[in-house]
A and B are shown apart, each in its own frame.
Chain A
Amino acid sequence: MDRLRNASSLALSLAGFLALLLAPALALRAAQSTSTVPDIDPRVAAGSKNAPIVMEVFSDFQCPACKTLFVTTNRQVMDNYVSTGKVYLIHRDFPLPMHAHSQVAAQYSRAAAQLGKFEVVEQVLFNNQEKWEQTGDVDGTVAAVLSPAEMTKVRALVKGGTLNAAIQKDVALGRFYNVNQTPTTVFHAKGQTFPYSGVMSYEILRNFLDQLGK
């Protein structure tokens, strides 16, 4: 009787194991890696195009978590990884419909990018987020860091309405990556793609970037 009990127990355990071993084969096949990153506008990117790691940051200028990521983490990434040629950092616009002024802020940053002023405008928009999201004064915020001549060009570009196409391209790319919140960072390295949503601590991100760069 003991033998029968042991045999039935073993058979059931083995059946359970087989089922479990087959489970990974049914796993979700998502986030396929791409060896090339499409539609890169170098005016909203920083670093070397030949860097071994590409970071695409899908961001909304009015999103508080995007500001946190920019201020606490991505600045250190710029200093330690982008400037040393290890990371190519790409800004992607992903203005969320719930934010009233996100689209306008994205337009101003895109317009500034055409004048080679993306970085300063990105910085002023994030640093003063709490102010302009109350008043909607994106124009005044951007004007604080651009010359009057540059502002005239930026306003003309924003009024021209041609910048929305580039923003929509980024949004479409985000949807391709299944981005549904901001900030979402998509890492590319060695033909692999790693999407990550939310704010990252620099100390932890540094380990990940070091592993990717090995």
Chain B
Amino acid sequence: MMQSSPLNLRRTIIWIGRLFIGGIFIYAGYAKIFLPIMHPRPSIGIALAFFALQVGSYQILPPWGVNFVAHTLPFAEVALGVLLTIGWRLRIWAVLSTLLILGFFAAVVRSYAAGMQINCGCFATPEPLTIATVIRDGALAALAVLMTVLAFIEARKPHPWAAPQP
């Protein structure tokens, strides 16, 4: 017997977070791997080498680190996005996604504060890094943290459709 609605505020926020952040991750990774804004589309090797230029523009990592991140991050984003959307082992992927987003946010804030005139590189488009990028990434980080915290709280509660305890 149902004891409460399956979509209370906490679960709604978790759902929104999963779908929104998961969707953004999938699209961001896909855009970096396939450069959908380009016609004709370049090879994956060219797309990832182009993404490496954008990672390098942040001037945080040495060249080998830039190449490693550029060739692994897009695939990690797609995988995390899919896992987050499916919701299996949610807390693990929520924590990893949140850490990744907080890392992006720190890099964006650092570059903006330093007055670096670079592209964001977030979605493989030539999008300048501005205050709007900082606000957007900050909002995304806040949503990710909220989703993760609520996912841990939710895990402690019995599921609304679960059988009543004897």
Contacts and interface: CB of A to CB of B under 8 A. Distances in A.
Contact of B49 (A2, A178, A198, A207): A207
A183 to B, nearest CB: 9
B38 interface: yes
Main secondary structure of the interface of B (DSSP, over half): helix
B8 to A, nearest CB: 15
A32 B39 contact: yes
A31 B26 contact: no
B53 to A, nearest CB: 6
A23 B27 contact: yes
A38 interface: no
Contact of B37 (A8, A12, A29): A29
A33 B39 contact: yes
B46 interface: yes
A31 B126 contact: yes
A208 B63 CA distance: 12
Interface of A: 1-2, 4-5, 8-9, 12-13, 16-17, 19-20, 23-24, 27-33, 65, 178, 180-181, 190-201, 203-205, 207-208, 210-212, 214
Interface of B: 6, 15, 18-19, 22-23, 26-27, 30-31, 36-40, 42-43, 45-46, 49-50, 52-54, 56-57, 63, 66-67, 81, 85-87, 116-119, 125-126, 128, 161
